[in-house]
Structure 1
Amino acid sequence: MSESRPKSDGEAAAEESLEIAVPSDPLAGHPATAYFWGHVAGSGDVSDDRIEVVANDEESAQVLAAVAGGDLEHETTTRDYAHDTSITRTEDEYTLTIGDDDETGLLGRSGALGLPVDGRGNYRFGAFSEYDRELLRGLLEGCGTVCFKSSSGTVGISFVHDDADLLELAQELIADCPVEAPFDDLSETSSGGYWFGVDDDAAPAFGTWLYEDCEATGLFAPSRRRKLERSLEQADAYDE
């Protein structure tokens, strides 16, 4: 049994204000850790002495900090749209950096050894197998998109990442979820990465399941859920 990792004053304050239930071990199987590591895989980087993860929603960034500690920085960035580099978008970014503490190491470990990622950058999510919904939600918020497709009046849900193996893992998680959600094969993006989308007909049911009861745990990005809800409303209005 692993020893409890002492929480910093910042972690305790964030956890109390957000009322987020987190385990003492950030690697233990738990909804909060599944959500955290989904985010890290989707929009983060793990090295021997630090973890950096980027969120576009301030509240979800605070949740990630409550789960694993670290320092948050906010900036506004403009970048190419992943599907089409001729389009740019400006958005807020909240970067959480978790460094190697001299006394406890990185998340209580010696360097990156023992974290759910190997030396080649491949993630191992076996510890979070009972919390696929939270893991998938973290992945979607880290490297996914939700939109309303005005041309067809449907909701679009897709995942975009440079790592094809990670997207294939996301496909496995979706295939195993209790909602039938067929998806496309991986395709290359114009920026050199990969992406796939959930079938439009299945996107409403999949998105609804993904965010169902999320307020009970606080493990979600409010802006992303609002985007999903607006897209669902627009699709319903299109059908009428």
Structure 2
Amino acid sequence: MSDARSSADGDEPLEIEVPADPLAGHAATAYFWGHVAGSGDVTDDRIEVVANDEASAQVLAAVAGGDLEHETTTRDYAHDTSITRTEDEYTLTIDGDDTGLLGRSGALGLPVDGRGNYRFGAFSEYDRELLRGLLEGCGTICFKSSSGTVGISFVHDDRDLLAFAQELIDECPVDAAYDDLSETSSGGYWFGVDDADAPAFGTWLYENCEETGLFAPSRRRKLERSLEQADAYGDDE
């Protein structure tokens, strides 16, 4: 076990506890593989994962090594391809070497099967970190001005991965209903947490996360702002 330094909250550097084996069951590895599943790609000799928050990208690099590159991209909004958005992207690339990829000979030694499906059994004790990584990899948090509520949703091309995210939500200690999976205009799938349950679910998901540093500060700030806006909306009624 080792400690890697990262500025996860944008202020003083924070000690991130990282296991020696990036496949071992641990909060940091659960967060890492949640991100990889949500916004990454795994081949026999490379892992690439994309983050929109510099601090969380640094945490991912602390967990598994690799090289970080930063660029600004413009892409279609997943729910509506007529809308585009420009955002920062931090791509972490982990290449294999003489010992293979993360010390394994081929992708089958990773928590990914031959069909590209993820196996998360090693991280079953760290559901919150795994789910947080998934949300930051393929989810959105927003304030819905039309209804004055907080919106939390997951979007991905892999229907099975989203079904797994729903299973994790079922097992979390707060009640969080969600929609059935629906198709997006871009050909993928998505579901949203029920608006009435989104505040409690989001609060639980980021509760005490600063203790480990395993979170994207910009995403937590977005949640906090959305909760504040929802509270203010209710006060105005």
User: Does the 8 Å CA contact 2:5/2:15 hold for their aligned counterparts?
Assistant: no
Question: Structure 1 residue 13: deviation in Å?
Answer: 5.9
Give, as a single letter, the amino acid of the residue that structure 1 aligns with 2:196: D
Number of matched pairs: 231
Segments of structure 1 that go 5 or more residues without pairing to the other structure are none
Which of 67, 71, 77 is matched with 1:71 structurally? 67
User: Does the 8 Å CA contact 1:26/1:33 hold for their aligned counterparts?
Assistant: yes
TM-score, length-scaled by structure 1: 0.93
User: Does the 8 Å CA contact 1:80/1:88 hold for their aligned counterparts?
Assistant: yes
Aligned to 2:10: none
Which of 98, 104, 107 is matched with 2:102 structurally? 107
Question: Structure 1 residue 18: deviation in Å?
Answer: 3.7
Aligned to 1:96: 92
CA offsets per residue over residues 57-82 of structure 1, 9 Å max, x none? 00000000000000000000000000
User: Does the 8 Å CA contact 2:4/2:15 hold for their aligned counterparts?
Assistant: no
Structure 1: distance between partners of 2:116 and 2:230: 38
Helix, strand or coil at the partner of 1:146: strand
Aligned to 1:118: 113
Give, as a single letter, the amino acid of the residue that structure 2 aligns with 1:135: L
Task: Give the superposed CA RMSD.
Answer: 1.6
Give, as a single letter, the amino acid of the residue that structure 1 aligns with 2:183: E
CA offsets per residue over residues 133-170 of structure 1, 9 Å max, x none? 00000000000000000000000000000000000000
CA offsets per residue over residues 27-47 of structure 1, 9 Å max, x none? 000000000000000000000
Structure 1: distance between partners of 2:4 and 2:34: 22
Segments of structure 2 that go 5 or more residues without pairing to the other structure are 8-12
Aligned to 2:181: 186
Give, as a single letter, the amino acid of the residue that structure 1 aligns with 2:121: G
Helix, strand or coil at the partner of 1:113: helix
Segments of 4+ in structure 1 off by > 2 A?
Answer: 11-15
CA offsets per residue over residues 158-198 of structure 1, 9 Å max, x none? 00000000000000000011010000000000000000000
Structure 2: distance between partners of 1:13 and 1:148: 33
